[in-house]
Structure 1
Amino acid sequence: MAPTYNIAMISDFFYPQPGGVESHIYQLSTKLIDRGHKVIVITHAYEGRTGVRYLTNGLKVYHVPFLVIFRSATFPTVFSFFPIFRNIIIRERINIVHGHASLSNFCHEAILHARTMGLRTVFTDHSLFGFADAASILTNKLLKFTLSDVDHVICVSHTCKENTVLRASLDPLMVSVIPNAVVAENFKPLTHTSSSGSNHTFSSPPQHSQPHFPPARPLGPHDIVTIVVISRLFYNKGTDLLTAAIPRILENHPNTRFIIAGDGPKAIDLEQMIEQNVLQDRVEMLGPIRHEEVRDVMVRGHIYLHPSLTEAFGTVIVEAASCGLYVVCTQVGGIPEVLPNHMTVFAKPEEDDLVAATGRAIAALRANKVRTENFHEQVKKMYSWTNVAIRTERVYNGISGAISEAEFYGYDENTTTNTWSAATRGRSGVQSFALIDRLKRYYGCGIWAGKLFCLCVIVDYLLFLLLELWFPRDKIDICSDWPRKKPQLTNGKGEKKKKEKEEYIL
């Protein structure tokens, strides 16, 4: 029988805030619970969300009251999070700590404290960073500090893996690529459209196991093409590029309109552009929307425009394709890995090319060259959160010793010539908890940074000893667990081999 684990997912970014990282943590956690594991989430308090909350499927969320300084990231203190973190870990009997996102302070601190406590750690990177600007240099140095002593790293795309390996000076063999996924059932296209005029009326999809989506009516030369944009309105999401491109797209294509959902500091630039060009009747600004409303906005359109300047994966374009939208996106980061070419039109992250690519997409839809009604079923077969959970579970098995190092890293231990030397295998394999070994790894992070990192680790270890003396483990109440689900039998694609009633084991 496969081993089960008590897992703590830790990040500054979680619900009720919408976003790709937030959705990833929630969906992965629920699927791991379905496979018999215990999962909790530790994040900071949000307005109206403090203390302990229970979500669907028995997922427990700890909202820790810490100061938030920028874009939902907490103030870095290094050590002040340790006492409450230790208390939660002991109460929940956690044995694997899984941190998410490079810019999450909670994630970096939790991995440091977890290693001090003798716990296995995993880090998932969801973003791309450069190497030249000051912010990226500081972030990369922090990432190198954290990942010097992590057991394994997961990236959401191959481009993201290459970026993370370079930023943190990692052995590529200790980094796995496990992409995001989408719950296709939550992003169904509309069943059909009316056959008259440019105003479309829609009906809800029938409630049966295999919905049928009839072919969409070809767009006529005078039918309105609706372009949808759903994004945080920040510079890195390409909002400046979008602001410059919208007037030109609307000028080149008179029967076109935009629906924009999202919020951020760049929203004022979009509003000023709309006023200056008198586009109030052709550009609709919805403001911030909840994740459960994304599908209802997407199905109002024909094209999804994604002008991001940097993106490790881009879950929202998968959601758009699942809703039956033709995707126009910038060819940056891991985006080219996400969808096949027949679902997308790629553009350089430049104004002229984005305008031209959008024009090609509009022309292809009007000429009925793209069968968007088939996108949903294709996306449903490509992406599955159950498959993501199975692959993540294999990482847990590898770092905990449930499977051999040879099986985990994929080499033949009987041969004399392996893909990497024995010395490197020791670096890539399960990390030692011995303090001297940890200090050796941190010391190699730089002439000055290495010494500072070693000092942080020593102080963290001394704080851990003090906490063990002042607040002994036997004084901490142990939480009762929810009844665990019996793991379902699945094939390699994460699909159930046969339908069974849900069983529980105490």
Structure 2
Amino acid sequence: MPYNIAMVSDNFYPQPGGVESHIYQLSSKLINRGHKVIVITHAFKGRKGVRYLTNGLKVYYVPFWTVYRETTFPTVFSFFPIFRNIVVRERIEIVHGHASLSNLCNEAILHARTMGLFTVFTDHSLFGFADAGSILTNKLLKFTLSDVDHVICVSHTCKENCVLRASLDPLMVSVIPNAVVAENFRPLSHDSVNPRRNSGPGSPQPLGSHDTITIVAIMRLFYNKGVDLLIAAIPRVLASHPNVRFIVAGTGPKAIDLEQMIERNMLQDRILLLGAVRHEEVRDVMVKGHIFLNPSLTEAFGTVIVEAASCGLYIVCTRVGGVPEVLPNHMTEFAAPEEDDIVAATGRAIAKLREGKVRTDLFHGQVKQMYSWTDVAERTERVYDGVVGAAGSEEFGGGDAARGRAGVRSFALIDRLKRYYGCGIWAGKLFCLCAVVDYLLYIVLEIFAPRSRIDMCRDWPKKLFEGDKAKTADLVEESDPLTRKRGLRRRVQKEEPDAI
């Protein structure tokens, strides 16, 4: 059964990142499976309004003010009129929010429940429980997820963290990992036009003691990505291994510290800083290396290490969060998030490559079999089926077990207030007040901006895939091939949306 789905998050292209890639790839695969998918995010520099991406994916870039790391300023209610207009004109049935720190995601789930829409949330991050920032974030997450239909996490560690933070029933949380388009991350040994195909990093031949080994690090230069560990470890690794060089790509507030380390140790000839790298250029950077170093302090999944392994790089990473679940042990060298352990793990990885103990030439094929966005889309579609199906089954007497697996069902305001009230002595009352004000605002919008005044948007014409041949035969009854082709052409022209 096809659904009309809205993906909502502050994180989307043109900003690079794992969440952004996840939303785009998942949306594209869901469109291929016959669903209608749009993306709602905030405006970026030089990009606002409505844009169409590949495969007919429509993106609404809403002009809101961003405050920190491309996250919009929280207003709770000002987003509702625009959100309602988009949802109504696109005939949205399911609102799927991404990232717990995304303000648009949290507000969209609140408004969607007020409008009686199904909601799904995907968590991509891990958070603590002790510091002030984590306490406030966890309370906000509890507010959002106390009235959501289903939750998806990208790893089992992420699921445990999310269940504890938001006090969720584990039965309403599913684990669906990220994936990678393996064909976009091929090693040099798989590039038939590359003259170095027999001597690239993916080659099984051991590296000699005098051969240069390149270590690649691609990350956002923020504290949680372990940049301080990287800055402390690089001089020690280079001092112990004279035939090693580094390539570091990424931007962030820690970039100045990295540059100062290079100046202080006079390592300009052994460390190459690339700055910001577009996602489509990441593969070109990775294939220049032999080892990928990821010193992150917290990571729910770590898509970048899967991309690096697909490019034929041996992975050195910290054993934190969901990282140990991502790749098998023969592809990775794990380290504790400590300077000494990272230096030791990097040394072990260099020694294994020089001795030929690691078959990095096999990594690409193995990653291609392990991760697929088509599989992620199929599993996400089953979540949607469970959410919509459980709602229908409850109308006919669905039990508590079904409600636990699918999530929250009732859209009645009194039932929603009961769920919010249980979020805390003071926070529960505040959440109830927000829900009541949101409901009153919805009534005002329905009265003074009725749905009859909102223009319904035409759907983008769907591509005809191999699996749609039977449906095509039903839609076009003519038996003559030429007549059928003309009929399809007229049908596509009739359904083509107006240019924006």
Q: Same fold (TM over 0.5)?
A: yes
Alpha-carbon displacement from aligned partner over 1:30-66 (angstroms, at most 9, x marks no partner): 0000000000000000001010000000000000000
Q: Which amino acid aligns with 2:215?
A: I
Alpha-carbon displacement from aligned partner over 1:333-388 (angstroms, at most 9, x marks no partner): 00000000000000000000000000000000000000000000000000000000
Name the counterpart of 1:432. 410
Distance 1:374 1:223 in 2: 21
Residues 318 and 338, structure 1, Cα contact 8 Å, conserved in 2: yes
Residues 201 and 313, structure 2, Cα contact 8 Å, conserved in 1: no
Residues 202 and 313, structure 2, Cα contact 8 Å, conserved in 1: no
Cα distance, 1:397 vs. partner? 0.3
Distance 1:214 1:266 in 2: 31
Name the counterpart of 1:6. 4
Q: Which amino acid aligns with 2:280?
A: E
Correspondent of 1:384 among 359, 363, 372: 372
Residues 125 and 153, structure 1, Cα contact 8 Å, conserved in 2: yes
Matched residue SS, 1:222: coil
Identical columns (%): 75
Name the counterpart of 1:365. 353
Correspondent of 1:203 among 187, 195, 198: 195
Please provide the CA RMSD for this pair. Answer: 2.3
Name the counterpart of 2:422. 444
Q: Which amino acid aligns with 1:171?
A: D
Cα distance, 1:431 vs. partner? 1.4
Structure 2 counterparts to residues 153-232 of structure 1, below 5 A:
153-191=151-189, 202-203=194-195, 215-232=203-220
Q: Which amino acid aligns with 2:426?
A: W
Correspondent of 1:248 among 236, 240, 255: 236
Residues 245 and 355, structure 1, Cα contact 8 Å, conserved in 2: yes
Residues 99 and 110, structure 1, Cα contact 8 Å, conserved in 2: yes
Deviates more, 1:345-354 or 1:396-405: 396-405
Name the counterpart of 1:196. none
Correspondent of 2:462 among 453, 466, 484: 484
TM superposition score normalised by structure 2:
0.90
Name the counterpart of 2:389. 401
Name the counterpart of 1:465. 443
TM superposition score normalised by structure 1:
0.89
Distance 1:400 1:328 in 2: 42
Distance 2:195 2:180 in 1: 23
Matched residue SS, 1:280: coil
Matched residue SS, 2:129: coil
Name the counterpart of 1:494. none
Structure in which a larger fraction of residues adopt helix = 2
Alpha-carbon displacement from aligned partner over 1:181-213 (angstroms, at most 9, x marks no partner): 0000000000289xxxxxxx953879xxxxx99
Name the counterpart of 1:335. 323
Q: Which amino acid aligns with 1:456?
A: C
Matched residue SS, 2:378: helix
The alignment of Structure 1 onto Structure 2 pairs a total of residues equal to: 467
Residues 126 and 156, structure 1, Cα contact 8 Å, conserved in 2: yes
Q: Which amino acid aligns with 1:218?
A: P
Distance 2:201 2:320 in 1: 32
Residues 190 and 203, structure 1, Cα contact 8 Å, conserved in 2: no
Q: Which amino acid aligns with 2:452?
A: D
Task: Verify: 1:36 aligned to 2:34, yes or no.
Answer: yes
Residues 202 and 360, structure 2, Cα contact 8 Å, conserved in 1: no
Name the counterpart of 2:485. none
Name the counterpart of 1:498. none
Residues 190 and 213, structure 1, Cα contact 8 Å, conserved in 2: yes
Name the counterpart of 2:480. none
Distance 2:40 2:96 in 1: 10
Gaps of 5+ in 1: 194-200, 207-211, 407-412, 414-420, 491-502
Alpha-carbon displacement from aligned partner over 1:124-169 (angstroms, at most 9, x marks no partner): 0000000000000000000000000000000000000000000000
Name the counterpart of 1:409. none
Distance 1:352 1:214 in 2: 28
Distance 2:201 2:182 in 1: 14
Residues 226 and 259, structure 1, Cα contact 8 Å, conserved in 2: yes
